[in-house]
Amino acid sequence: MNVYLSGPMSGIRDNNRTGFIAANIALENSGVCAGGKIYNPAIEVPGYATREMAMAYDLKMLTTYETVEQTFVDDKMRIYKSTMAMKPLYDCVCLLNGWMESEGSKIEVSVARYLGIKVMTIDQLLSGFQFGPIDRFVDEQD
């Protein structure tokens, strides 16, 4: 599973690098992302980036799509392969504690929902929660 980390950065010491790295390590150790990628803005975004530059880079990553090969069989049992299908690179946006106070995280959640990407808290993801998009959970927090 490819996971995109989202959480508060601005106004937190060292842009919450410690919190993001701890979440990254917890996901790696849990095996949730076995064979997948973790997008961690605390590692990926250059330190010189302004808040606006960082958000633009983050959104570019969140909205990245990959092509997927699909196999089709027609009524005469002929096999066709197609690479025209596309899907979001990230399967899930993983929300760190305090994400509700982050304007950037709120934007990322909105974009993820629009693109059909699952949105879960770090606790849900680590516990193996299978609810899918957390619209009900997020709305209860609003």
Q: What is the CATH number of the domain that holds 7?
A: 3.40.50
- The residue behind tokens 């950037």 is 104
30 close to 126: Cβ distance less than 8 angstroms: yes
Residue 114 sits in which domain range?
3-141
Q: What is the pLDDT of residues 13-51, one digit of tens each?
A: 999 999 999 999 999 999 888 889 999 999 999 989 999
The count of domains in the chain is 1
User: Which 3 state secondary structure label does DSSP give 122?
Assistant: helix
Amino acid making up residue 112: A
Structure tokens at 125: 């993801």
Secondary structure in 3-state letters for 19-81: HHHHHHHHHHHHCCCCCCCEECHHHHCCCCCCHHHHHHHHHHHHCCEEEEEEEEECCCCCEEE
Beta strands 92-95 and 79-88 are: unpaired
Q: In whole angstroms, give the CA distance from residue 113 to residue 107.
A: 10
pLDDT tens digits for range 65-107? 988 777 778 888 887 777 666 889 999 999 999 999 999 999 9
3-class state of residue 136 by DSSP:
helix
